[in-house]
């Protein structure tokens, strides 16, 4: 790492870089003078997020340079200290330039085709997700207007979902493929999921992370093909809650509870939040509770959503997403998803629609 205009020490040039690609990352950042910024490698499979370097920003006229040394192309981010904003790129060329406006969170990328492609795609998906968020409250209104809005919402959500599949299935960068893979939704079609990852493994035959991912997904599909049904005993899961303390669903035995699986990045999941809050107002809290599990790999967006939507019940998180404890133990294959569990730990209903939550729960729990 260095500031432009300073001499890069020659010792850096003689680092142990055998079989590694070296990328110079040039960062110009507005609105972060005096703040520390970090070069972060995003995790793959069971890796931990890795902070590789840091620097203190002087001002917009003094760009910062980081060196990325890696055998493979990987997704990286620039993160500003004490900020939830991240600026993503891929090390696919000898130099990558990021021009960041930290005031509004916008940025541009140059000299990196993979980074530019991924950013264009994520930006377009963000616009579509925002339109879904704006439509969601309108579906709560009575009458024909709400029905029409729901048709529009469903159409846009289907486009949002298919966009992830199409991008992952056609993008040329293996690192960009990995960046969106967790958002590709196959519904209940395990055969489609197996065909998709097998095709990707062929497309990126020399890229080890995707070969490892193929093995992981094929093993995971074997688990999901054995789903839990009504009448089955649900296994307990232990995950950290919003206070960072481990919580086991085994402690819920003795009363009914809704085991609710969602994610802060899932627009359709937010539709359920209104109905869950209404449900808790109308049932006896001595007999019924909700436990939510978020499939989020970052805690800040998750905690922000909890505060923003006033989600006052037990909130857990599985940061390993589809490779984590929740998915592998409970064997669900999409979100939003839920199980209604009786006091003995048996499933009495599952995959309950948002507008049916009260009618289904009230059939078991007295008001």
Containing 211, the helix (H) or strand (E) segment is helix 208-224
pLDDT tens-digit readout, 282-303: 999 899 999 999 999 999 999 9
CA dihedral 266, 249, 240, 267 (to 10 degrees): 10
Residue from 164, 166, 140, 165 nearest 153 by CA: 140
Query: Residue 129, CB half-sphere, CA atoms under 13 Å: how many?
Result: 16
pLDDT at 7 over 60: no
> Looking at residue 155, what is its pLDDT?
95
Cβ burial of 239 (10 Å; 0-12, 13-18, 19+) is buried
pLDDT at 105 over 60: yes
Pairs from 263-266 (Cβ < 8 Å, separation ≥ 24): 263/294, 263/295, 263/296, 263/335, 264/294, 264/296, 264/301, 264/302, 264/304, 264/305, 265/183, 265/296, 265/301, 266/295, 266/335, 266/336
pLDDT at 8 over 50: no
> Looking at residue 13, what is its pLDDT?
35
> Looking at residue 50, what is its pLDDT?
95
How far is the C-alpha of 34 from the C-alpha of 81, rounded, in Å?
10
What are the DSSP calls for 278-290, one per residue? HHHHHS-TTTEEE
Find the range with the poorest average confidence among 74-88, 192-206, 321-335: 321-335
pLDDT tens-digit readout, 44-77: 877 889 999 999 999 999 999 999 999 999 999 9
For the four alpha carbons of 225, 226, 232 and 236, in that order, the dihedral sign comes to: negative
Task: Report pTM.
Answer: 0.63
What is the topology classification, in CATH, of domain 2-111? Immunoglobulin-like (2.60.40)
pLDDT tens-digit readout, 123-150: 999 999 999 999 988 887 777 778 889 9
Higher pLDDT pick, 355 / 322: 355
Higher pLDDT pick, 145 / 103: 103
> Looking at residue 19, what is its pLDDT?
57
Phi, psi of 196 (to 5 degrees): -65, -50
Higher pLDDT pick, 218 / 248: 248
What's the DSSP call for residue 360? Answer: H
What are the DSSP calls for 80-91, one per residue? ETT---EEEEE-
How far is the C-alpha of 350 from the C-alpha of 6, rounded, in Å?
61
As annotated, the residues of the chain forming the CATH 3.40.30.10 domain(s) are: 238-362
- List strands edge to edge, sheet with 2-3: 2-3, 64-70, 21-30, 95-101, 106-110
Q: Look at residue 328 and give its three-state secondary structure.
A: helix
pLDDT at 86 over 80: yes
pLDDT at 10 over 50: no
Question: String of b and e for 244-277 (b: at least 16 CB within 10 Å)?
Answer: eeebebeebeeebbbbbbbbbbbbbbbbbbbbbe
> Looking at residue 12, what is its pLDDT?
35
For the four alpha carbons of 151, 157, 160 and 166, in that order, the dihedral sign comes to: negative
Higher pLDDT pick, 103 / 267: 103
pLDDT at 115 over 70: yes
Q: Please state, for a pLDDT cut of 90, what percent of the chain lies above it.
A: 76
Which tokens go with 328? 């592998």
pLDDT band with cut points at 50, 70 and 90 for residue 197: very high
Which tokens go with 358? 């009260």
Homologous superfamily of 238-362 in CATH? Glutaredoxin (3.40.30.10)
pLDDT band with cut points at 50, 70 and 90 for residue 224: confident
How far is the C-alpha of 128 from the C-alpha of 278, rounded, in Å?
27
As annotated, the residues of the chain forming the CATH 2.60.40 domain(s) are: 2-111
Give the mean pLDDT of the chain.
90
pLDDT band with cut points at 50, 70 and 90 for residue 367: low
């Amino acid at each position: 790492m260095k500031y432009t205009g300073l001499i890069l020490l020659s010792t850096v040039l003689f680092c142990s870089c055998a079989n590694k690609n070296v990328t110079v990352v040039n960062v110009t950042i507005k609105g972060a003078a005096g703040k520390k910024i970090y070069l972060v490698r995003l995790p793959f499979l069971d890796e931990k997020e890795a902070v590789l370097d840091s620097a203190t920003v002087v001002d917009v006229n003094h760009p910062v340079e980081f060196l990325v040394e890696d055998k493979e192309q990987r997704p990286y981010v620039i993160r500003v200290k004490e900020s939830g904003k991240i600026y993503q790129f891929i090390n696919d060329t000898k130099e990558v330039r990021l021009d960041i406006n930290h005031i509004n969170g916008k940025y541009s990328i140059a000299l990196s085709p993979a980074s530019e492609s991924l950013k264009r795609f994520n930006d377009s998906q963000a616009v579509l997700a925002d339109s879904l968020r704006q439509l969601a409250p309108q579906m709560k209104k009575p009458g024909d207007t709400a029905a029409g809005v729901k048709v529009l919402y469903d159409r846009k959500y289907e486009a949002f979902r298919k966009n992830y599949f199409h991008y992952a299935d056609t993008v040329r960068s293996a690192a960009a493929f990995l960046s969106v893979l967790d958002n590709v939704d196959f519904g209940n079609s395990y055969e489609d999921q197996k065909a998709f990852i097998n095709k990707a493994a062929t497309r990126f035959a020399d890229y080890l992370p995707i070969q490892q991912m193929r093995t992981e997904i094929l093993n995971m599909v074997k688990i999901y093909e054995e789903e839990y049904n009504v009448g089955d005993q649900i296994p307990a899961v232990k995950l950290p809650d919003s206070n960072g303390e481990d919580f086991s669903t085994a402690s819920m035995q003795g009363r009914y509870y809704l085991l609710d699986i969602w994610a802060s990045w899932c627009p359709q999941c937010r539709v359920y939040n209104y109905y869950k809050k209404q449900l808790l107002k109308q049932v006896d809290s001595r007999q019924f509770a909700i436990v939510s599990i978020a499939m989020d790999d970052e805690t800040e967006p998750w905690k922000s959503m909890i505060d923003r939507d006033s989600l006052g019940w037990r909130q857990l998180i599985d940061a390993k997403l589809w490779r984590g404890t929740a998915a592998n133990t409970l064997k669900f294959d999409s979100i939003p998803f839920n199980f209604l569990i009786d006091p003995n730990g048996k499933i009495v209903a599952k995959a309950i629609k948002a507008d049916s939550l009260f009618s289904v729960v009230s059939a078991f729990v007295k008001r």
